A and B are shown apart, each in its own frame.
Chain A
């Protein structure tokens, strides 16, 4: 069992601690001598650790990488304040007596730091009767008692008088008050501030080293001046300078202090700056860590693999490895892998001997290593088909952004992803890249397989419905396969079934699409629901639906209804939900695998295309649309007329102008809706229409844009008004309130937009782009805050929800204990 950290205690470091920790005292500000060797007793003394390979540490004898580095210290000629604790210093100074060091206020009145900073201080010490003058703090780090400035030495002397008990009452429990005034300064090991060698051979020191050199230099000068008994003002100037350097060493962004700069003028990155912010130690290196055994590459689609699979390029499979322990069961197999070496797939790249030494498998030694192999050895073999790996796409917005897949090694250079697995990743193939990670231990692999496998994530914990499912062409294919009257010859049926992996004897000459689809359904499945292509008639005719939009599955056979997005798509698929709920994740995945393959095969047999003729309307209907637009224009003219005459009565709480806009927009939207109805009624079942009504892609609104008219461009939630004085563009008269002057587009995409319409269209587009780019930042921060507030909550052993401190937040999670990720849309008994 390795060592495990149980707790971390935070305290203030005492001078004794510093001495104990340090291996040397830094006394000279020289860094390198004439021969470019580190100067002894300087800030780069080799006793502080090694940063160059090949050199041994003078303290511990470790080599580069072994020696963790060692601390040194600087003895300050005069004490200085630790600027990180100015608040605590202020509290201690003002609430204790400078003479006797006792508390000036009642303990019970100073429970929090906020109280302590605001507390009333008596004019006289209640213990020794000394007159107390008010303590004033002045930025950046000066304290005054009355008019007199306090120097760190005086503050330290005062602090030494304060009892432990009183210090604790004032909130200082992590150390003695006088430790807030530094006498010794800890020098971090050079491993924490390595110098880098530029191409020119020049050495470039870390910012911290620069700062330390400054401190040592001033400290030396101060010490010298003290020794020769220099005048007080010189001492004070140097002391102040030392304080400045120490202050900026801790925090280079103190308000009221000019930041210490590099020669180039760039502010130095000192201790505080190293920890802070997104690029700081905490968020960059501690919470997020770099990993090995990972790959990144472009993804491309492959509908012929399983949803669970991930196509891995051969090159990647031969680079990433899995450590396998040699046992009597697998020694033969592993020997063969070692014999294949690292250049021949399937092979292995390394062996690890029981003593821990790693040996790279090279063409020269592979035979020897294969012979050497024995139980207890570990072989790092190439990825093989069936290995479990993690696959991820950023931004990782929810837990399905990283899922486990089974490897399928393939030729080619891209990762192959099944299309049904795209929605949870939000992936498409326009150049998206994704990351792959190979778990290295059996425990990790077991967890990945049991908890993270794609099929186990079909149901989203967000809403309790499928998030993995058939999309786009799969849906069109499903509709074409299963719609009313869809028939396939024996040969076609054989093709479709074979694609889905169903091998049965076909004795009929003709098969209905529904029959073929039914072969994928479990035998005892029963479900009824309305399909996406449902026309929402006032009275549902159910099984006699003329649009074939009422789906009935009885005992595993599709009796009526066409399969579309409402059945098998992510977010909506009721059939998929049912199968996952009743028959398990594996069955659902298998169903999905088969259905997708069957659908595209059906689609390929029939053929599927979209062209202008699909969306072009006959002349008489175009005329009708024109009539609607003209009628609307007339109505709007009337509204404007009424407005000009001042006849418009404002809606409560609205101005007359706002009311006018509301009225006009209502008319415009009305017109678009009317056109949409006409289009809906007059469209034949073209491929474009199939896509829209089955939910495969596009919507009726998109068709209206193309065939009918684009309609009002909404800009900032209303019509366009920005631009010139009283008008949007120079092409209109001032105060023209008509539709065309404010972004109404009466053309369709097929007809083409005129330049003015195009301008408004682009205006809307620009707004959309601005919106979404601004929004990502806002919602990204919202996510960070939510996660930071909620990350500790978990379901405990007694089914209560508790936080890290053990406080109960919910007695039963979600009031009924049901995990949405296991429910059907949050319900015990299914259906959306």
Chain B
């Protein structure tokens, strides 16, 4: 090869023309609308240049797009500290962050370690009071959380529960309602409202000893009175113009149908739940969003296109699949690529039993065999005509 000095100007022009022409002739990749609009704001003489630039910016055919995407996520993961600490001195939910969260997303865990929702409210309820009210509705409340005290009345052999008035008002319930719920959940127990805020529990069994009474008392404490099961924390916050409710614990299905909740903006970080409730496409978008959020929090600048590709390969089959050995990497068509990753022997013996054929379409399989992998310049046949000009 001669030195790489070429006439810069002519080379660049030719390239762009070729790309643009090919594009017109073979394909119908058009300038996306958002760019058309953006370009239209420039003076006319610049517009043509920018339009051409779009076609110059297209991916090269054969680009190892997956490899680049994988590196774009994992390189910063090794370089930066990716801490799991939360921001100092602010009231907020402690959710999984940094590298652990990233791994959780790519592993497609059935249950994330800190499931959380961000609930937006419709116009009518978009104020502090309504938000508080809805938050109280959502939050899982046990008897224990709304009572002042519970005691054993040994004289009459019954459990006496004193409810906290304020807390009762907070969740908008009366002692009678609470008693009704208790009745439903406690078998063989007589529930009576004694006073305004006092409830007594009596066993229907004849002989009652202390131990039975204690069991009733402990069981009563954990009875779910109000709210959605699994939602352990709620925080009402103002986010720019909106009042939002952040929760720890999720139940999208129930929350989305609640009065006052804006179902279009309300989010959950639970990928599997979102897939079940809203479909794979929503799950795919959530993977993109959550991954980008996690990276941005750590100050990592990675283009969203790489994240999209990872989300797409996790979801393009119709269900969310993890990245690792039980997911995409373990379900490849190529025997050699699978054997190279993990569980070498298992993949080889299975392949032999099934009489599988590795047709060497995979990159790793070609590297193993010593062929030129069919990617990048390996997708084309190219040679030097040594005896030519």
Name A residues whose Cβ lies closer than 8 Å to a Cβ of B: 4-12, 84-85, 88, 171-175, 251, 272, 275-277, 280, 282-283, 286-287, 325, 386, 388, 395, 397-399, 426, 441-443, 445-447, 449-451, 453, 461-465, 571, 583-584, 586-587, 651-654, 662-663, 665-666, 669, 714, 717, 771-772, 775-776, 778-780, 782-799, 801, 803-810, 812-823, 825-826, 828-829
Contacts and interface: CB of A to CB of B under 8 A. Distances in A.
B364 A791 contact: yes
A82 B117 CA distance: 53
B71 A398 contact: yes
Contact of A819 (B57, B93, B335, B382): B57
A665 B88 contact: yes
B233 A776 contact: no
B328 A779 contact: no
Interface in B28-80: 29, 32, 34-35, 38-39, 50, 53-54, 56-79
Contact of A807 (B316, B327, B376, B377): B316
Nearest to A667: B89
B81 interface: yes
Contacts of B233: 652-653
Nearest to A797: B61
| Most-contacted residue by chain A among B32, B53, B377, B383 (CB, 10 A) | B53
A791 B306 CA distance: 13
Contact of B360 (A7, A283, A286): A7
A171 B26 CA distance: 44
A797 B54 CA distance: 18
Contacts of B383: 443
A423 to B, nearest CB: 10
Interface core residue of A286, A395, A822 (most chain B CB under 10 Å): A286
A747 B8 CA distance: 58
Contact of B3 (A325, A386, A441, A442): A386
A775 B73 CA distance: 15
Contacts of A717: 83-86
Contact of A587 (B8, B35, B103, B309): B8
Interface stretch (B147-155, B160-168, B265-273, B351-359): B351-359
B259 to A, nearest CB: 22
Which 6 pairs, one residue from A and one from B, show the smallest C-beta to C-beta distance? A793-B66, A814-B305, A790-B66, A666-B89, A174-B355, A783-B74
B60 A819 contact: yes
A638 B252 CA distance: 43
Given A779-B99, A821-B68, A10 B352 contact: yes
B75 A397 contact: yes
A816 B35 contact: yes
Contacts of B354: 10, 171-174
Contacts of A11: 352, 355
12 contacts: A282-B339, A399-B68, A587-B8, A665-B89, A786-B106, A786-B323, A795-B62, A798-B26, A804-B363, A816-B35, A818-B58, A825-B303
B223 interface: no
A794 B62 contact: yes
A171 B353 contact: yes
Contacts of A803: 66, 313
A591 B92 CA distance: 48
B303 A453 contact: no
Contact of B58 (A5, A397, A586, A817): A817
A772 B78 CA distance: 9
Contact of B301 (A463, A663, A821): A463
A21 to B, nearest CB: 16
A790 B310 contact: yes
Nearest to B351: A10
Interface string B356-385: 111111111101111100111101001110
A788 B357 contact: no
Contact of B234 (A171, A652, A826, A829): A652
Contacts of B88: 665-666, 669, 714
Contacts of B244: none
Contacts of A398: 68, 71-72, 75
A352 to B, nearest CB: 15
A788 B341 contact: yes
Nearest to A464: B303
B57 A823 contact: yes
Contact of A10 (B12, B312, B341, B357): B357
B75 A10 contact: no
B362 A804 contact: yes
Contacts of A85: 349, 353
B70 A789 contact: yes
Contacts of A447: 377
A4 B367 CA distance: 12
Contact of B357 (A8, A443, A665): A8
Contacts of B57: 817-819, 822-823, 828
A151 B26 CA distance: 65
The winner among A171, A461, A776, A798 for most chain B CB atoms within 10 A is A461
B177 interface: no
A287 B364 contact: yes
B5 to A, nearest CB: 8
B256 interface: no
Contacts of A826: 303-305
B302 A586 contact: no
Nearest to B357: A9
A389 B246 CA distance: 55
Nearest to A653: B233
B58 A799 contact: yes
B352 A12 contact: yes
A798 to B, nearest CB: 7
Nearest to A173: B355
Question: Which of B34, B235, B361 counts the most A-chain CB atoms under 10 A from its CB?
Answer: B361
A449 B82 CA distance: 35
Contacts of B68: 398-399, 461-462, 821
B324 interface: yes
A804 B361 contact: yes
Contacts of B374: 794
Max chain B C-beta neighbours (<10 A), residue from A6, A10, A666, A809:
A10
Given A272-B345, A287-B367, A788-B337, A799 B74 contact: no
B332 interface: yes
A772 B85 contact: no
Nearest to A4: B371
Given A653-B93, A804-B363, A823-B57, A462 B301 contact: yes
A663 B88 CA distance: 10
A793 B313 CA distance: 9
Given A4-B371, A786-B310, A88 B316 contact: no
B352 A783 contact: no
A652 B237 CA distance: 12
Contacts of B341: 784, 788
A15 to B, nearest CB: 16
Contacts of A813: 59, 63, 65, 305, 309
B323 A789 contact: yes
Nearest to A283: B340
A463 B67 contact: no
Contact of A789 (B3, B60, B327, B357): B327
A286 B72 CA distance: 25
Contact of B71 (A6, A451, A462, A797): A462
Contact of A286 (B78, B106, B335, B340): B340
Nearest to B303: A820
A782 B103 contact: yes
Contact of B81 (A282, A666, A771): A771
Interface centre among A795, A809, A823 (most CB of B within 10 A): A795
Residue in B54, B310, B323, B352 whose Cβ sees the most chain A Cβ within 10 Å: B352
B91 A662 contact: yes
A784 B364 CA distance: 13
Given A397-B78, A794-B63, 17 more contacts: A175-B353, A446-B1, A446-B384, A453-B4, A462-B76, A462-B302, A666-B88, A714-B88, A786-B74, A786-B323, A787-B71, A789-B66, A793-B64, A805-B333, A813-B59, A814-B309, A820-B306
